[in-house]
Chain A
Amino acid sequence: MTTAALAQPEIIQPSRLTLVLRYLRRNKGLAIGLFILLLLVIFTVYGSATADLTHAYPLSVKSKQPPSVEFPLGTDFFGRDLYVAMVVGLKETAIIGLLAGAIGTIVGVVLGFISAYFGGGLDAVIKGICQILTPIPALLIQVIVAGSLDKRDVTIYTMAFVVVLLAWMGPTLVIRAQVLTMKERQFVSVAKLSGMGDLGIIFSEILPNLLPFIAAAFVNQVFYSVFASFYLAVLGLGPLREPLLGNTIWAAQTQSAFFNNWWWWPLAPAVALVLILGSLALINMGMDELANPRIRKTE
């Protein structure tokens, strides 16, 4: 008797888009996080296109004005229009976050991958360096670095660099761990047996499975970069002329804004920062689900 397979009845799968939307409905954290982020992006893009960006810098408009129709978020002690300052500040924070986040993630992926895939002495060295650098208090070192720089040299790009310096070890170790487990699993051995070259295996077998972890690491890195750059700025170590969120709060603190009753001054950047970090944290939590399928709840 032959064992021919009979035709399977067609299973009608709902469209990809429907599945994604249904998933978002269940994973509310991810949905809300993405939504808030989207709002921030729209705000920044709209603001960049419509407002006069020079108003974000001192001595542009009348100072110390509370929020009004003309100045929706008020103005600060130095004469910045806080609405425009927010737009520019958000944009610059995004640049720092994305730049530092991307660098950190890429370094992490490359190093972690090389370390795990090729193993041996190289692995020992990379892993060793990561482990040794981990106990060093990154934030403090960043404070020292930023504090040692000449004020004129500090730009948002140098800040991104400072922030990434001690941030890349985390993703490296995570990616390394994942690649190691994958190496053990069957599909890599099968691919090798079927004659696929190393490069082929990397791109067609391993990388697709790593994507959720890379994405999660990226979100994490962006979160950390925004967080760390805020810390530096709020201590007065950022590029002082730029309306970075942290800078604005630092300026507000040095001018005792709260006690002078200019409450709107630190409020806007505080809210903006909380929104950014909060949405990133939610997205992070949501991505937890993607990487760990057991978390997926269904109705």
Chain B
Amino acid sequence: MTPVLRVNNLQVSYYTDAGRARALDGVSLTLAAGEKLGLVGESGSGKSTMALAMMRMIKPPGRIEGGQVIVDRTDLITISDEDMLQARLSKIAYIPQGAMNSLNPVIRIGAQMTDAIKAHQDQSTADWISPAEMEKRCKQALESVDLKSDVFKMYAHELSGGMKQRVCIAISILLRPKVIIADEPTSALDVVTQRQVMETIDRVQEQIGAAVILIGHDMGLMAQFVDKVAVMYAGRLMELSTVREMFTDPKHPYAQALIRSLPNLENKGVFNGIPGMAPALLQLPGGCAFHPRCIKAMEICTTVRPEPVTLPSGQILECHLYSEKA
């Protein structure tokens, strides 16, 4: 299966008064159509930056410094600005975190959906789509996320949090993109609504056969939803495994520590944290970024950054423990 998304060595830095912070330091991964990838990591690990970089929405003082983001044979990093505008929503779509404020308060929901279609008019079809046709499509999209078609005429403030999130999902599938990035779509919601929203994403994704990248820090949610999990730390991809492997046999010491820290029912009351703090991106430690906190750190870990290696099982790891085993 040819991958529908290929990220090669993506690098993003933020230039602040206090220096240069490497938010993404050479991240690579691939996704096939219909695959679901969960991207997890602590705050500052680079997961949101990843999403923004793929949508080419990094603003000053941040800058994309290198790498490729290839969706369906087009490298989003190098295409022109107008082409990127077209690519957004039609090739790669984004579901925002906290849809509370993501909808324009002064225009109706319907208008916010049709303006997205109108903006992509020239590219998506050869003929001109009539307003009536546009309305029909939008209402279909609303219904596919379990919303009544009257929502089309409503204003954002008339909807609940969960409904607003589903409107955002509906917008993201309007043009049948190849890749959908869902950036912590359920963080601001209660558990019941979380489930509804995740099921909705699942369903629409199957309908249009898109690949999904789900960003978050709720491992439980990941376990239920994704096929593969990628763990990020200090702007680097530490481990990428299938969800089964990640939860039963993580290989990277950081991933292992993460899984170990998940509360489980047999071990009630025992909390395993990871000693230390994530490094400031302004001053990354030499060598492997995790070595100061790693219980399996070796001499080489302090000086040489490990190259990502792909194990026979398909897992990708950035750790000296596995460098020879490739």
The yes or no answer to B275 lying at the interface (CB within 8 A) is: yes
Residues from chain B with a CB closer than 8 A to the CB of A297 are: 60
User: What residues on A are CB-neighbors of B61 within 8 Å?
Assistant: 298-299
Number of A-B contacts (CB under 8 A): 42
Given A11-B283, A298-B61, A299-B61, verify A5-B275 contact (CB < 8 Å). Answer: yes
> Is A261 an interface residue when CB atoms closer than 8 A count as contact?
no
Interface residues on A, range: 10 to 19
User: Quick one: given A6-B293, A11-B280, A299-B61, are A22 and B17 in contact (CB under 8 Å)?
Assistant: yes
- A230-244: CB near B (< 8 Å → 1, else 0) gives 000000000000000
Instruction: Say yes or no for B314: interface residue by CB 8 A criterion.
Output: no
The answer to whether B275 and A11 have CB atoms under 8 Å apart is no
- Assembly CA distance A15 to B16 (angstroms): 15
Which of A2, A8, A10 sits near B275, CB closer than 8 Å? A2
CB-based contact A1/B275 at 8 Å: yes
Q: How far is the CB of B10 from chain A (nearest CB, A)?
A: 22
Question: In the bound complex, do residue B17 and residue A19 qualify as a contact, i.e. CB atoms below 8 Å apart?
Answer: yes
CA gap between A197 and B17 in the complex, in Å: 37
Check A120 for interface membership: any CB of B closer than 8 A: no
Please name the residue on chain B nearest to A22 by beta carbon. Answer: B17
CB-CB under 8 A for A11 and B18, given A1-B275, A6-B275? yes
* Contact A11 B282, beta carbon cutoff 8 Å: yes
| B60 in contact with A1 (CB, 8 Å) | no
B277 at the interface (CB under 8 A from A): yes
Write out the residue numbers on chain B whose beta carbons fall within 8 Å of the beta carbon of A4: 275
User: Which of A2, A5, A8, A14 has a CB less than 8 Å from the CB of B17?
Assistant: A14
Report the separation of the CA atoms of residues A9 and B274 in the bound assembly, to the nearest whole angstrom.
17
Judged by a CB distance under 8 angstroms, whether A186 is at the interface is no
Contact in complex: B279, A9 (CB < 8 Å)? yes
Taken together as a complex, chains A and B put the C-alpha atoms of A3 and B276 apart, in Å, by: 7
Tell me if A254 is interfacial: C-beta within 8 Å of chain B: no
User: CA–CA, A99 to B15, complex, Å?
Assistant: 43
From A3, A10, A298, B60 is in contact (CB under 8 Å) with A298
Q: Is the CB of B15 within 8 A of A8?
A: no
Query: Would you call B66 an interface residue if the criterion is a C-beta within 8 Å of the partner chain's C-beta atoms?
Result: no
A3 touches B283 (CB 8 A): no
Residues of chain A within 8 A of B280, CB atoms compared: 8-9, 11
Distance of A8 Cα from B293 Cα, bound (Å): 11
Does chain A have a CB within 8 A of B306?
no
Report B50 CB to chain A, min CB distance, Å: 22
- Docked complex Cα distance between A8 and B282 (Å): 12
Chain A residues, Cβ within 8 Å of B272: 1
- Name the distance in Å between B4's Cβ and chain A's nearest Cβ: 35
List 19 other contacts, CB 8 Å, given A3-B275, A11-B283: A1-B272, A1-B273, A1-B275, A3-B273, A3-B274, A4-B275, A5-B275, A6-B276, A6-B292, A8-B277, A9-B280, A9-B285, A11-B280, A19-B17, A22-B17, A297-B60, A298-B60, A298-B61, A299-B60
The 7 closest A-B pairs by CB, nearest first: A6-B276, A298-B61, A3-B273, A1-B272, A11-B283, A9-B283, A4-B275
Which residues of B approach A to under 8 Å, CB–CB?
15-18, 60-61, 272-277, 279-280, 282-283, 285, 292-293
